[in-house]
Structure 1
Amino acid sequence: MTRAAARLSEPYDHAVIICQDLDAAVDNWKRLGFTLTPRGYHTLGSQNHCIMLARDYLELLHVTAPTPSRQYYWDAQQRGGGCAATSCKSRDAFATAARLREAGIERSEPIEFSRPVRLDDGSEHAATFRVTAVDGAPGARYFVCEHRTPELLWRPEWMAHANGATAIAAMYLVVPAEQVEAAGQTYARMTEGEMSPLRNGAVRVAIDDAELVVTSAAALAAQTGTAEIVREEPGYAAIRLRTADLAVARAHWRTAGVEARDLGPRDTLIPAHAANGVAMLFTQA
């Protein structure tokens, strides 16, 4: 099979990072060297800022009040935040929902929502989305997102970052050791990604040019390359980003007074307590 034939039709989309205080999070992630989109106000009752990368993004999300569609995120927010969900793109949320059902995956019906986006020229437009979610996915919520107006998000003025971030390379999901393989198989079915074994009993699910690493708490250090990332309960422990110039990123962090720990010539760690509850690994592209 050629690489082109093996690529997913629904590639990786974004990670959701829950923030108890969105104003403080904005200041924090700007210090980390990210450009943030203007604040968005969802029709579902949540607010966000996005960090747009070349093909995917990070979403800083805050829930103002619990509602049926936001209850999962509200509960995560009450527990302190962190990375609570991940998603893949969908060209048709209804078709993907049907595929998940046929694969035996219990999921929500697709819902449509929007938020206004103000562009640099002062004009305002509605960014619209359709999502279908799997709340019972191993470790954390998984969902698919159909972007109805991608041109309102992936804009040059929001895609250049002082830390050189260009793409999400990997997500690290912790589950109980005895559930790692089954969880990997579930994610492979949901994403249509290819699962392969890693050392220490972990597995990798290739999702287009990114990967989901499912691991136990005990094997987390072996997968991330550092014992400084620790997570005992199920959920996302770390996100690895590619950067176009790690040396420039390191210089920015020194100037901004950011706590950053170099793990070698090509990797730097931003600890979880400095990034709203999820460790950030930067790798030279």
Structure 2
Amino acid sequence: MPARPHSPDPHSPGAYPPGACPLDHLVLPTARLDVARARLVSLGFVVAPSGIHPFGTENCCVFLEDGTYLEPLAVGNAQAAAKAVADGNVFVARDRAYRDSCGSEGFSALVLGTENADADHARYIEAGLSAGDKLSFSRAFTDAAGNSDTASFKLAFASGTGATDAFLFACERITAPKVDRGALQVRANGATGIVEVVAVSNEPSEQRRLISIATRSPATGQGSSTAFDLPNATLTLLDPVAFETRFGMPAGAPSELRFAAIVFSVRFADTVARLLAASSVEHDIRGDDIVVRPAPGQGAAFIFREIA
């Protein structure tokens, strides 16, 4: 397996040349943050202190060395979330639609880094793919030492017509918290970043335009497998048969589009295998990959791949 070059932080201005958007983070709905935290710790990740959104949701993120991160997301204040939906908050409305369709455990959104969410919103509207109004908000961020600062974001949303199982959005960091993430990026499993995100569709050809426009990346491949090359990862779109063939597990209920798996780069596969065994986490070996099936608090298949 070729070495993966170190990716620049997708939040840094000018980190990537114009073209495809970088992967920023992944949203993983969960029923309870404590369950997600326990599961992720058992997989060898370090989990950040809980973050509270001003519209009823909350998260406990896993930050990776390559600048990407996982965002387990729960509803912490149902009343505030219901008001946010009524007020047209697309982020909370899409989270509710996902939970109503797929349940409270899963993988709802792929988030792309951007330096201009306004331009992305206009681009989505022009293409007929806007999922609703932009969203600007701020929240407190706390590092492992308990230091706090404020992070501010602007989001622009894209989705296929009537789709509830998956969406994409562009995330512009207006202000970044001045805290130290170093301690949050040291993991027992040795994971250094995300190299691939895998989505499943019953009709992959129908999703190519949505994904290509959202990511600003042309599709390569055809038929059962399509790839979109982002600056710091690959987004792969498979049909259900191709997904089951590759990972040895069913793709789940039929879906127009569903995010289903995350491939992490790790330093040593045997370290991961020992850690999973010690934590009594069931896993399968498929070629160069260690495959962990979804579980409560882990809404997608996690695949660990040794990359020098």
- Answer yes or no: same fold by TM over 0.5: yes
Match for 1:33 among 13, 34, 44? Answer: 44
Q: Which moved more, 1:61-70 or 1:20-29?
A: 61-70
Which residue of 1 is the match for residue 251 of structure 2?
230
Unaligned 5+ segments in structure 2 are: 1-14
2:273 maps to 1:250: yes
1:181, distance to aligned residue in structure 2 (A): 1.4
Unaligned 5+ segments in structure 1 are: none
Secondary structure, aligned partner of 1:213: strand
2:22 maps to 1:11: yes
* Residues 120 and 165 of structure 1, relative CA distance in 2, 3 Å threshold: closer
CA deviations 1:28-51 (Å, max 9, x no partner) are 111111011110001121110111
1:127, distance to aligned residue in structure 2 (A): 1.3
Distance in 2 (CA, whole Å) between partners of 1:13 and 1:262 is 28
| Residue identity matched to 2:227 | R
1:74, distance to aligned residue in structure 2 (A): 2.5
Match for 1:52 among 57, 63, 67? Answer: 63
| Residue identity matched to 2:97 | D
2:222 maps to 1:195: no
Match for 2:201 among 163, 170, 175? Answer: 175
Q: Counterparts of 1:72-221 in structure 2 under 5 Å?
A: 72-78=94-100, 79-136=103-160, 140-152=166-178, 155-176=181-202, 179-198=203-222, 201-221=224-244
TM-score scaled to structure 1, two decimals?
Answer: 0.88
* Residues 189 and 9 of structure 1, relative CA distance in 2, 3 Å threshold: closer
Instruction: Give identity over the alignment, percent.
Output: 24
CA contact (8 A) 2:36 2:296 kept: no
Q: How many residues align?
A: 276
| Residue identity matched to 1:158 | L
* Residues 187 and 218 of structure 1, relative CA distance in 2, 3 Å threshold: same
1:9, distance to aligned residue in structure 2 (A): 5.6
Which residue of 2 is the match for residue 239 of structure 1?
262
1:248, distance to aligned residue in structure 2 (A): 1.3
CA contact (8 A) 1:52 1:153 kept: no
1:132, distance to aligned residue in structure 2 (A): 1.2
Secondary structure, aligned partner of 2:150: strand
CA contact (8 A) 2:26 2:109 kept: yes
| Residue identity matched to 1:56 | T
Secondary structure, aligned partner of 2:48: coil
CA contact (8 A) 2:35 2:296 kept: no
Q: Which moved more, 1:48-57 or 1:109-118?
A: 109-118
Q: How well do the aligned residues superpose, as a CA RMSD in angstroms? A: 2.3
1:275, distance to aligned residue in structure 2 (A): 5.3
CA contact (8 A) 1:194 1:207 kept: no
1:123, distance to aligned residue in structure 2 (A): 3.2
CA contact (8 A) 1:170 1:240 kept: yes
1:55, distance to aligned residue in structure 2 (A): 2.2
Which residue of 1 is the match for residue 5 of structure 2?
none
Which residue of 1 is the match for residue 73 of structure 2?
61
Which residue of 1 is the match for residue 290 of structure 2?
268
CA deviations 1:116-171 (Å, max 9, x no partner) are 11234543211111111124376511111112234557721111211111111222
1:24, distance to aligned residue in structure 2 (A): 1.2
CA contact (8 A) 2:47 2:60 kept: yes
Distance in 2 (CA, whole Å) between partners of 1:226 and 1:169 is 16
